[in-house]
């Protein structure tokens, strides 16, 4: 290659006023030397590698520059080349290029560095891009495919800017990269408009672009959007997809549960295009039908598959059985099992294991045993999960002896039982009262080096508690402690299991006293007992436990304790103490539960404290993400009362009745509060009269709410009087009159 020699010590190029040399050959970025008009600002390329780009010295007048002036640093693309032997420090280099950026070309790194540095499309980015002579489509694709992806606010202007270059046309690869980028940045609607953009640029979209969009929407979990663009491109652009694209769409729809839409595409578009089904087409459709349990349609589809393509293979049948078994449709599994035998397939271990497990879970243990016997006759390698399923099935039917026989057979085959199998057998033995056998199994668990879990210890503790054998109970607790296991967690789980049966609250309190005497106690155990006592309406004992926690000071009440005790106090009529518990929660930054809020609001409404009740309603809706609808309607009623129109309030109440929301105390108190604040008590009485006429309120209820209304009016009036006295500075005279001493 003929090169034009330059160096830092060479003379500067002649100015434009001087005569041009007779032969002047300059270098182009990609194609080496070419004849071109001389420009002192065009860089010279000494070889075909962009890494050796050296800029020309800027043109200067003949007069020497001032010593105080520093010449600007020339721009060089080699600053963005990671393979340059000794690149000078770049003008604006990326802070720390990622591994993906190091794999890009120098020009792509330069463009990405500019886009990420300025973060907004503007003159700065355009100035950097103007330094490039030309950005070809492969470079556009490289920039759009970079990781992390550019934001649409940068990628879209860059894509449009590239298309406006002279003698430039986007190719299909750049359009596909642009659609892929929009999908990655969660702009699927913009990605769907790429085919229209292609048509505007004279590039009619093909099946490849449809395949790209369907694949992108399927990967991001939007199969309905994929179906929409599929039908749009098929209708507007006349694209006839091939079978593989239909299969991809079917699979995407069925994976998200849209089986009917997949069948609609198969029965309409697929058949209109005159395509012939492949084996994978039928396999996808029958798996989707199996997922929703439509067995008859599965059988019909299998018949079509046999007549048009081939018989279903073993993997397709196994997948159908697994899908149905996971949803408990064992009748459908048996039907598919018969179809497998009809096709003469040799069923493998996976199919048998799936069927045995599903049948045992569904209670069809006898049928599972038949298949288990077939596996032994065929001399299959039976997995431990098959034995575990049979043991679980026998224990579920209280046939623990046969379950133990299966365990012995499994051990004779050389398998070791896992903890789940031992837990199942221990639970079964405890259910039939065989405490001695259960204890032996527990010792075997420990000897095998397994860590006993909650499901291992809780049945034994419950059985000891039911039998009243507290010495064995605490002996087992001490054994758990010796094994360095969390004893409190095990006792907490025991109490939950013990109280789930119901009617054992008093026995639980006796066991709790003994546990507390031995030092086994926690706040969560207190909460479990308080909750169980509240459920059986024994609020006094629940409150006594709460008082005991505060008195001891060792187990301080937490958020759950306060939320449980507030309803107990309200039902006992001690609303003031319930309010103090609520205030204690607020001081400790605890959040009450919905039940605590509802109970406290109901108690305040009963004693006529309407303003605090409305304040609690606002606090509940502002704190909890899912407040009760009764509270939301209460605030709606308060806002409607601003119109001073009782009929509109009645419309809101009719809507509540229509939607089956009960009219509770807070609803009527909201009516009183709203009209007393924004109108007068007469409007509230009109609403109560309408409700009485419709039979919603009885006469006694109307009288009770009118008394609450009168008391609320007195409080409102007293509040206004005190406010007026404070305004005129007469509050001291009021105190002297009420307290003369």
pLDDT digits (tens, 9 = 90+) for 684-713: 999 999 999 999 889 898 899 889 888 888
Higher pLDDT, 48 or 299: 299
Q: What is the DSSP string of 252-264?
A: HHHHTT-HHHHHH
State residue 77's pLDDT score: 52
State residue 735's pLDDT score: 52
How far apart, in whole angstroms, are the C-alpha atoms of residue 641 and residue 680?
10
- Report yes or no: 372 and 380 within 8 Å, Cβ to Cβ: no
Rounded (10°) angle between helices 681-693 and 699-728: 170
Reported confidence tier of residue 19, pLDDT bands at 50, 70, 90:
very low
Reported confidence tier of residue 714, pLDDT bands at 50, 70, 90:
confident
How far apart, in whole angstroms, are the C-alpha atoms of residue 2 and residue 584?
89
Q: How many CB atoms lie within 10 A of CB 104?
A: 22
What are the backbone angles phi and psi of residue 26, rounded to the nearest 5°?
A: -105, 170
What are the backbone angles phi and psi of residue 524, rounded to the nearest 5°?
A: -65, -35
Q: Domain residue spans in the chain?
A: 1-61, 105-204, 360-417, 629-741
- Report yes or no: 628 and 594 within 8 Å, Cβ to Cβ: yes
State residue 8's pLDDT score: 40
588, pLDDT greater than 90: yes
* 644-672 average pLDDT score: 92
Q: What percent of the chain has pLDDT over 90?
A: 51
State residue 75's pLDDT score: 54
Residue 306, CA distances (Å) to 302, 322, 382, 521 in order: 6, 21, 31, 67
Q: Which of 177-186, 252-261, 390-399, 451-460 has the lowest mean pLDDT?
A: 177-186
* 580-592 average pLDDT score: 93
State residue 496's pLDDT score: 93
Higher pLDDT, 30 or 292: 292
State residue 71's pLDDT score: 52
State residue 424's pLDDT score: 94
* 183-191 average pLDDT score: 86
State residue 202's pLDDT score: 85
Reported confidence tier of residue 206, pLDDT bands at 50, 70, 90:
confident
What are the backbone angles phi and psi of residue 385, rounded to the nearest 5°?
A: -65, -30
400, pLDDT greater than 90: yes
Residue 590 DSSP code: -
State residue 554's pLDDT score: 86
- Report yes or no: 610 and 669 within 8 Å, Cβ to Cβ: yes
State residue 169's pLDDT score: 87
Higher pLDDT, 724 or 740: 724
Q: Which of 7-21, 95-109, 497-511, 681-695 has the lowest mean pLDDT?
A: 7-21
Task: List pLDDT tens digits, range 120-131.
Answer: 899 998 998 888
How far apart, in whole angstroms, are the C-alpha atoms of residue 572 and residue 450?
49
106, pLDDT greater than 90: no
Reported confidence tier of residue 267, pLDDT bands at 50, 70, 90:
very high
Round the average pLDDT of the chain to a whole number and report it.
Answer: 84
90, pLDDT greater than 50: no
State residue 680's pLDDT score: 84
257, pLDDT greater than 80: yes
State residue 360's pLDDT score: 94
Task: List pLDDT tens digits, range 439-488.
Answer: 999 999 999 999 999 999 999 999 999 999 999 999 999 999 999 999 99
670, pLDDT greater than 50: yes
State residue 98's pLDDT score: 56
Reported confidence tier of residue 726, pLDDT bands at 50, 70, 90:
low
Higher pLDDT, 68 or 714: 714
Q: Which of 18-32, 330-344, 618-632, 692-706 has the lowest mean pLDDT?
A: 18-32
User: What does R_g of the chain's alpha carbons equal in angstroms?
Assistant: 40
Residue 287, CA distances (Å) to 282, 283, 308, 310, 572 in order: 8, 6, 18, 16, 58
What are the backbone angles phi and psi of residue 680, rounded to the nearest 5°?
A: -150, 170
192, pLDDT greater than 60: yes
State residue 7's pLDDT score: 39
Task: List pLDDT tens digits, range 373-388.
Answer: 999 999 998 989 999 9
* 247-252 average pLDDT score: 93
- Report yes or no: 59 and 13 within 8 Å, Cβ to Cβ: yes
**Both tokens assigned to 459:** 């049945």
State residue 32's pLDDT score: 44
What are the backbone angles phi and psi of residue 54, rounded to the nearest 5°?
A: -125, 125
741, pLDDT greater than 50: no
State residue 166's pLDDT score: 86
56, pLDDT greater than 50: no
């Amino acid at each position: 290659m003929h090169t034009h020699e330059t160096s830092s010590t060479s003379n500067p190029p002649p100015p434009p006023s001087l005569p041009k040399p007779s032969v002047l050959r300059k270098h182009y970025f990609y194609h080496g030397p070419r004849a071109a008009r001389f420009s002192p600002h065009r860089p010279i390329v000494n070889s075909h590698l962009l890494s050796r780009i050296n800029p020309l010295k800027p043109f200067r007048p003949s007069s020497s520059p001032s010593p105080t002036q520093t010449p600007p640093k020339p721009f060089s693309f080699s600053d963005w080349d990671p393979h340059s032997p000794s690149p000078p420090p770049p003008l604006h280099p990326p802070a720390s290029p990622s591994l993906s950026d190091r794999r890009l070309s120098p020009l792509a790194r330069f463009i990405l560095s500019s886009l990420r540095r300025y973060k907004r499309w503007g003159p700065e980015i355009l100035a950097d891009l103007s330094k490039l002579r030309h950005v070809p489509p492969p470079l556009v694709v490289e920039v759009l495919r970079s990781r992390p992806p550019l934001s649409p606010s940068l990628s879209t202007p860059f894509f449009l800017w590239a298309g406006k270059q002279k003698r430039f046309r986007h190719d299909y690869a750049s359009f596909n990269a642009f659609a892929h980028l929009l999908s990655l940045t969660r702009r699927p609607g913009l990605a769907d408009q790429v085919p229209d953009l292609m048509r505007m640029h004279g590039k009619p979209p093909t099946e490849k672009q449809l395949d790209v969009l369907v694949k992108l929407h399927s990967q991001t979990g939007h199969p309905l959007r994929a179906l929409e663009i599929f039908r749009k491109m098929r209708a507007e652009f006349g694209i006839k997809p091939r079978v593989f694209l239909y299969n991809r769409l079917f699979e995407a729809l069925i994976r998200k549960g849209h089986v009917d839409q997949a069948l609609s595409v198969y029965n309409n578009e697929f058949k209109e295009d005159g395509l012939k089904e492949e084996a994978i087409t039928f396999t996808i459709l029958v798996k989707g039908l199996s997922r929703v349990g439509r067995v008859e349609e599965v059988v019909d589809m299998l018949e079509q598959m046999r007549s048009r393509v081939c018989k279903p293979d073993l993997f397709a049948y196994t997948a159908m059985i697994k899908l149905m078994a996971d949803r408990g449709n064992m009748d459908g599994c048996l039907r598919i099992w018969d179809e497998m035998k009809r096709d003469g397939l040799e069923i493998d271990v996976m199919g048998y294991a799936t069927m045995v497990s599903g049948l045992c879970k569904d209670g069809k243990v006898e049928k599972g045993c038949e298949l288990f016997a077939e596996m032994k006759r065929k001399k299959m390698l039976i997995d431990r999960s098959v034995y575990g399923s049979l043991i679980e099935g026998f224990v579920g039917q209280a046939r623990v002896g046969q379950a133990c026989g299966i365990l012995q057979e499994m051990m004779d085959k050389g398998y070791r039982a896992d903890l789940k199998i031992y837990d199942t057998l221990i639970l079964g033995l405890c259910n039939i009262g065989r405490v001695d056998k259960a204890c032996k199994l527990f010792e075997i668990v420990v000897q095998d080096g397994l860590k006993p879990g909650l499901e291992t210890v809780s049945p034994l503790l419950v059985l000891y508690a039911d039998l009243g054998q507290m010495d064995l109970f605490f002996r087992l607790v001490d054994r758990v402690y010796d094994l360095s296991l969390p004893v409190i967690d095990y006792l907490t789980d025991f109490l939950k299991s013990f109280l789930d049966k119901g009617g054992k609250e008093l026995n639980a309190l006796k066991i709790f006293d003994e546990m507390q005497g031995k030092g086994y106690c926690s706040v969560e155990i207190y909460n479990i007992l308080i909750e169980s006592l509240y459920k059986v309406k024994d609020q006094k004992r629940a409150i006594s436990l709460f008082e005991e926690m505060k008195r001891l000071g060792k187990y301080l009440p937490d958020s759950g304790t306060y939320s449980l005790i507030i309803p107990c106090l309200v039902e006992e009529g001690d609303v003031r103490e319930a309010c103090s518990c609520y205030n204690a929660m607020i001081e400790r930054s605890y959040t009450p539960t919905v039940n605590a809020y509802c109970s406290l609001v109901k108690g305040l409404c009963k004693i006529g404290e309407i303003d605090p009740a409305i304040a609690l309603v606002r606090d509940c809706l502002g704190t909890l993400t899912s407040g009760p609808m009764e509270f939301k309607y209460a605030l709606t009623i308060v806002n409607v009362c601003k119109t001073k129109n009782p009929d509109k309030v009645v419309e809101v109440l009719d809507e509540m009745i229509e939607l089956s929301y009960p009219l509770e105390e807070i609803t009527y108190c909201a009516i009183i509060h709203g009209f007393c604040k924004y109108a007068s008590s007469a409007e509230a009485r009109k609403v109560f009269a309408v409700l009485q006429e419709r039979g919603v309120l009885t006469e006694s209820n109307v009288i009770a709410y009118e008394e609450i209304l009168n008391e609320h009016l007195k409080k409102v009036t007293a509040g206004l009087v005190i406010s007026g006295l404070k305004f005129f500075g007469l509050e001291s005279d009021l105190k002297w009159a009420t307290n003369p001493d």
